[in-house]
Amino acid sequence: MEIFKKNKAVIKFLGVFFGTYILLTIAYQLYLDYAPEQPYFPEIITHMVALQTESLISFFGYETNSIPSHYDPSMRIGINGDYLVRVIEGCNAVSVIILFLSFILAFKKDFRSTVLFIFAGSVIIYSLNVLRIALLTIGIYEIPDYQEFMHGTLFPAFIYGLVFLLWIVWIKNYKPKVKSVDE
pLDDT of residue 46: 92
HSE, CB side, 13 Å, CA atoms: give it for residue 178.
4
Instruction: Give CA angle at 120 (119, 125), nearest 5°.
Output: 100
**Quick one: pLDDT at residue 175?**
63
What's the pLDDT at 20? Answer: 97
pLDDT of residue 177: 57
Positions of the chain with pLDDT lower than 70, given as ranges: 175-183
Tell me if residue 41 falls in helix, strand or coil. Answer: coil
Q: Which of 25, 157, 7, 11 is nearest to 98 (CA)?
A: 25
Residue 130 parent element (H or E): helix 111-142
Q: Which helix (H) or strand (E) holds 79?
A: strand 74-79
pTM score, two decimals? Answer: 0.88
If one counts every other C-beta atom within 10 angstroms of the C-beta of residue 149, the result is: 12
pLDDT digits (tens, 9 = 90+) for 44-89: 999 999 999 999 999 999 999 999 888 888 899 999 988 999 999 9
